[in-house]
Amino acid sequence: MRGTLIVPTLNEAESIGHVLERFRAATDQANRTSFASDPIDWEYLVVDGASHDATAAIATSLGARVIVEPRRGYGRAYRTGFDQAQGEIIATLDGDATYPAEDVPALVRRLLDRGLDFITCNRLAHLDPKSMTTEHRLGNWVLNTFLRIAYAHYLREAGGATLEDSQSGMWVFRRSVLDRVRLTQDGMPLSEELKLEVILNGLKFEEVPIHYAERWGAPKLSSWRDGRRNMLFLFRKRLDVARNRRDFGSAVGPTPNGHPANR
């Protein structure tokens, strides 16, 4: 079995080596134990937003395939990574060491054993107090509350599914999911869009609590600017979902050629 780890980066020289080394140690150990009968051959795919530091060089030295993506945006980096991923299983981490890379093997095991399509991780369940500002926590609360209210009908249709952390960027999923979802966002709303598309397309998913740590290096998010963009996306997406259901009889309407569009 093949797996792909995708890590978007922008000037993460301080932490990218730590992230990749932790991931390698965890997956090597898992291949000797829980995956001994069918080890996963992992590729490391770092999608770098033209960093000015040694991020790309460090990642390359640790065996990663580095793709320089000059088009800016968190979502753009992931969409480029999804196009290039060769694994049957895809895992994602940020390059700032906030997500627990050592949890990925257990999440993959859970995905396979439970017949799931998609796992997203809940950062808010075990949050390091230093990992988010009060402003950032408030923004997350507003976005998550709005999503649960605006999309309550569709969450009920998904078997009463819950989504406590719509902004999480740590996911483990089958590559086949990408053939079922339509991704359009180049910015931070890609995280919300992917989860909503999984729900609206009736894919089997779970949200799993994780420990979320303080980031290495200076933060890049702007809580109010990114929060406004995320809220606007959620509002527009909700209108599109209602329109598609009315016009096509389903929550997800077709693209012009009848197929999902991820690029």
- Looking up tokens 């960093």, which residue turns up? 51
| Amino acid letter, residue 194 | L
- Does the predicted model carry a pTM greater than 0.75? yes
Provide the pLDDT confidence category of residue 251 given band limits of 50, 70 and 90. Answer: low
Mean pLDDT, residues 78-97 taken together? 97
pLDDT, one tens digit per residue, over 40-60 is: 999 999 999 989 999 999 999
pLDDT mean over 203-230? 80
What was the pLDDT predicted at 259?
38
Mean pLDDT rounded to a whole number for the chain: 89
**Quick count: other Cβ atoms within 10 Å of Cβ 214?**
12
Quote the pLDDT of residue 139: 86
pLDDT of 3 above 50: yes
Domains of the chain: 2-243 (3.90.550.10)
Percent helix / strand / coil, the chain, rounded to 5: 45, 15, 40
As a dihedral over the C-alpha atoms of residue 54, residue 56, residue 60, residue 64, rounded to 10 degrees, the angle is 140
Higher-confidence residue of 133 and 231: namely 231
pLDDT at 64 over 60: yes
| pLDDT value for 218 | 62
Dist. CA 201–CA 157, nearest whole Å: 10
The whole-number average pLDDT for the span 142-147 is 92
Angstrom distance (rounded) from CA 237 to CA 250: 14
257 pLDDT band, cuts 50/70/90, is very low
Mean pLDDT of 251-255: 51
CA–CA gap between residue 189 and residue 228 (Å, rounded): 10
What's the one-letter identity of residue 233?
F
